[in-house]
Amino acid sequence: MIVKFLRLIGSVLVAFWFAMACGMASADTRPNILWIIVDDMSPNFGCYGEQTIATPRVDALAAAGTRFSRAFVTAPVCSACRSALITGMYQTSIGAHHHRSGRGVEKITLPTGVVPIPELFRAAGYFTCITSWPRGKGLGKTDYNFTWDPAMYDGPDWSARRPGQPFFAQVQLHGGKHRDGGGLKPPVQRALGTLTDPARVKLPPYYPEDDVLRRDWAAYLDAVRYTDLQVGEVLDRLEREKLADSTVVFFMTDHGISHARGKQFLYDEGIHVPLVVRGPGWAAQAVRDDLVEHIDLAATSLALAGIARPTSMQGRDLSARDLPAREAVFAARDRCDETVDQIRSVRTAQFKYIRNYLPSRPHLQPNRYKDGKPTVRRLRELHDSGQLSGLPEQLLFAEHRPTEELYDLTRDPFETRNLAADPAQAETLRAMRQRLEQWLVATGDRGQQPEPAAMYESDMAEYLGSQKRDLDSLRKNIELMKRWAAEGR
């Protein structure tokens, strides 16, 4: 109750400040803010260099606005990423770093002073909404790991706002999930008409040249094409309703492609995302190469609306003219569903440093979610039958992981040559290690301590109760996690 009271007081003060500074009568001059957030998708769009498929609507959005070439999420999995996104805070700073945590009897509450930004927008007179696409009757995907008040959203769609009232809206697209389980869902196939030829697919070098993986990647690219169509539909609606010129549109994804080295991991396949901004005050046909993090969307959106941001917010205003360039971006991976892990990374323009806190565990730990995917099943089949070799075998199925990984991204963009043991890179390793250590302390990384057993048990009970398939494998994985932890592994 105390936390809710403090949030209410904070919201009232924000509203009062804005009313005094601008006058509520001028609210109709403030821009609408629209976030288009996509699931499970890397920057496989034409404006980012993808050549196998065409993505005309996202490309046109980028041409009319500003494209960020080096945008990264701070967590490579949905719930942790979205918890950070909606607060403008590192998920590790607010205790929301474990995927789908706080869902059982044990809850997670935000630290004092941390407020989801829909509350701030709503207090400042904005209509707040979140929807899926095509539009549904209820709220769109939230997936926050902390307790939150559904009243921070006025509804699922901006059509319910008062005449002239500005809105803060989120449109959630399924993105790469349209091909989960192999292939594409029938409505997606019908909308596209023709499908991408798997023979045209070029896989990263750490995946084997295999028909199953090629077909899956082709289906993923078709999911990108379908996402492009949906983005066009959203933009067309803005045009029909004469809102395009008064709306700042942010387009990004919540993490990279769901694959063996993408989603859930800190390689660029998992954390590098597209980010495009179009609208009043944003230059057209512009490309920014500075390092940005997805938590910057919160601070930027508040600034565009003239709303004071909490002093504790870690995201930065990308629209600020005097914004100093970031020297590095940071990311963290922790427990994903039942699978316990702890990984941290720091990335500069040239180098990536990754620290594995549980190096005695394999890269592809048992995980019911990922093991249910055709690509991971196929990779395990090839490994078990001795048909996997080279980089796929070395990187995906090594019995242990290195404690430290260091990659020169200019010479090794696929992050396949670990330089951590290279004497020539000793100084770079030391500098990157120090950067990470400073960030862990400065941001109060709550993942430096193991997850309490009570929280794990609470979330696993909720997880088991919500699932309908492969419960035996899920229970087996949970017991394995407990055994490895008891063994200090």
Q: What is the pLDDT of residue 14?
A: 42
Rounded distance between C-alpha atoms, residue 375 and residue 215, angstroms = 9
Q: Is residue 397 classed exposed, middle or buried when 0-12, 13-18 and 19+ CB atoms within 10 A define those classes?
A: middle
Please tell me the predicted confidence (pLDDT) of residue 183.
Answer: 82
Give DSSP secondary structure letters for 410-432.
TT-TT--S--TT-GGGHHHHHHH
User: Could you read off the pLDDT of 158-198 as tens digits, one per residue?
Assistant: 999 999 999 999 999 999 999 977 789 889 999 999 999 99
Across the range 371-380, mean pLDDT stands at: 96
pLDDT confidence tier of residue 216, bands split at 50, 70 and 90: very high
Tell me whether strands 127-132 and 272-278 are parallel, antiparallel or unpaired: unpaired
> Residue 28 — pLDDT band, cuts 50, 70, 90?
low
- Mean residue pLDDT across the chain: 94
Segment 216-241 shows an average pLDDT of: 98
* DSSP secondary structure code for residue 160 in this structure: G
Q: What is the DSSP string of 30-67?
A: SPEEEEEEESS--S-SGGGT--SS--HHHHHHHHTSEE
pLDDT of residue 135: 84
| Residue scoring higher pLDDT (28 or 464) | 464
What is the helix (H) or strand (E) element at residue 80, kind and residue range? helix 78-87
- pLDDT range class, residue 4, cuts 50, 70, 90: very low
State mean pLDDT over 25-29: 58
Q: Is the pLDDT of residue 1 over 60?
A: no
- Number of Cβ atoms within 10 Å of the Cβ of 51: 9
Among residues 389, 342, 355, 430, which one has the least CA distance to residue 99?
342
- The Cα diameter of the chain in Å comes to 71
Given a contact cutoff of 8 angstroms between Cβ atoms, the answer to whether 70 and 293 are in contact is: no
Quote the pLDDT of residue 320: 96
User: How confident is the model over 37-54, as pLDDT tens digits?
Assistant: 999 999 999 999 999 999
pLDDT at 3 over 50: no
Q: What is the pLDDT of residues 400-444, one digit of tens each?
A: 999 999 999 999 999 999 999 999 999 999 999 999 999 999 999
| 5, pLDDT greater than 50 | no
Domains recognised in the chain with CATH numbers: 2-323 (3.40.720.10), 332-486 (no CATH)
pTM of the model: 0.93
Q: What does the pLDDT read at residue 24?
A: 42
pLDDT > 90: percent of the chain: 90
- Give pLDDT tens digits for 110-127: 999 999 999 999 999 999
Residues 6+ apart with CB under 8 A from 106: 452, 454, 455, 458, 459
Instruction: State pLDDT tens for residues 119-150.
Output: 999 999 999 999 999 887 899 999 999 999 99
3-state secondary structure of 247: strand
| DSSP output for 447-487 | GGSPPPHHHHHHHHHHHHHH--S-HHHHHHHHHHHHHHHHT
